[in-house]
Structure 1
């Protein structure tokens, strides 16, 4: 992210298809990144966790990680929107000429043909970081999953693994594109930090506690290793 941001500041790349916000990956994937992540992780978590534990209650508890993720996504995007609102002003042109003080919101400003300028924390940097790390955390359970190749469960899990792997590749690739083409360095740093905080605050801290959705099922040896780290 830092390398891409420095490249953008010091030696901007020429305009390309990926620098257009209307490109297919941005419109149909990144704009709805949490929906893609949610919809693919839901069956993956349900199938793998039930296969390993056979406990419906534990599966429901683990699926609540998606509700937590939804709350993190909602709260963070709301925070970003408020920060942009309270630090912004409306101008007549992208060059920040002719401030329009009569327009007090971004929506009103854009509705009147103005240009709103505020501290716009990168929602892409936040969400792509958080989604990619969450997928990696949940897919760590794969080394525990043993299924019969001829069983329909094997085909279902394999399909989900391929889809999640492809999705993670898109998130990483578009994160790099964001670093190279969009926002300034500080906006991307803050966005990435929010994503890292959301991931570490859950999987690195809260999910280690008993009163939480918990981590993906692990073998006794891994649990022992985890307990050692906690001490």
Structure 2
């Protein structure tokens, strides 16, 4: 438990700072552009991480929202109830996960439709021999063809949104004080470590996406959707009274408004 607490202390000191919430969106956007330029001008040699079947991609990134949802659910419930003692407020704050689910679902549906309506089926990855008889991606793949359309990077979108959402919710740790001998302390410490490592995985895989996959425009749109999903909620809507609200903090509304004004 001592090692876990040390790890949680380091992660809290790293991810809970207001500077991280302020500059992480800019850092993600800049790294996406830098990685994309590197991919276009001086591609890196293939590696384990450039293989879509790598462990992090298959078991984490492919289900990124599932991981984020499942870890934020108990974290928000425990920390918010510990600070407020109000079940109604906790349920209201947990609705942020429903909002996040809606954003994930709508955006991925939009991406899929864009790829469908801009795509065509070909006989080979080199886009040779268009097969006009196949009018959908599923039908094309089912017949051994290769579908090519404008494929907005779902990874860029989801990893951006998930990382920023976790960092926003972890801001509540500024206010959380627990007895080290209480089971709540162990639970929150474990969740802090899990969420911290998850955030680093999301950022790392975002960088891998930037340097190995998709073209620049596809990653720009994907990252932009992720940033808009985050800012539209935590930067705008959650500041209003008719919303799930922000994580409970001392003068949270004023602090949040100051953060986005800087």
The one-character-per-residue Cα deviations of 1:177-230 (angstroms, maximum 9, x if unpaired) are: 000000000000000000000000000000011110000001137647748978
Measure the CA separation in 1 of the matches of 2:139 and 2:78.
47
Q: 1:37 to 1:87 in 2, by over 3 A?
A: same
Q: 1:227 to 1:190 in 2, by over 3 A?
A: closer
Aligned to 2:98: 67
Aligned to 2:203: 172
Measure the CA separation in 2 of the matches of 1:229 and 1:30.
29
CA contact (8 A) 2:174 2:249 kept: no
Measure the CA separation in 2 of the matches of 1:228 and 1:41.
22
Query: Please, what is the CA RMSD of the aligned residues?
Result: 1.7
CA contact (8 A) 2:157 2:222 kept: yes
Measure the CA separation in 1 of the matches of 2:256 and 2:126.
56
Indicate the SS of the match to 2:179.
coil
Measure the CA separation in 2 of the matches of 1:98 and 1:122.
26
Measure the CA separation in 1 of the matches of 2:168 and 2:46.
35
Indicate the SS of the match to 1:90.
strand
Using the size of structure 2 for normalisation, the TM-score is 0.85
Measure the CA separation in 1 of the matches of 2:258 and 2:43.
47
Q: 1:111 to 1:131 in 2, by over 3 A?
A: same
Indicate the SS of the match to 1:13.
coil
Mean alpha-carbon deviation: is it higher for 219-228 or for 131-140? 219-228
Which structure 1 residue ranges, 5 or more long, are not aligned?
none
Q: 1:86 to 1:148 in 2, by over 3 A?
A: same
Q: CA deviation at 1:5?
A: 0.5
The one-character-per-residue Cα deviations of 1:97-135 (angstroms, maximum 9, x if unpaired) are: 100000000000001110000000000000000000000
Structure 1 stretches of 4+ with a deviation exceeding 6 A read 227-231
Which structure 2 residue ranges, 5 or more long, are not aligned?
1-31
Q: 1:229 to 1:195 in 2, by over 3 A?
A: closer
Measure the CA separation in 2 of the matches of 1:225 and 1:15.
42
Q: CA deviation at 1:15?
A: 1.0
Measure the CA separation in 2 of the matches of 1:13 and 1:229.
36
Using the size of structure 1 for normalisation, the TM-score is 0.97
CA contact (8 A) 2:239 2:253 kept: no
Measure the CA separation in 1 of the matches of 2:206 and 2:56.
11
The one-character-per-residue Cα deviations of 1:81-103 (angstroms, maximum 9, x if unpaired) are: 00000000000011101000000
Q: 1:44 to 1:79 in 2, by over 3 A?
A: same
The one-character-per-residue Cα deviations of 1:108-165 (angstroms, maximum 9, x if unpaired) are: 0001110000000000000000000000000001010011111111110010000000
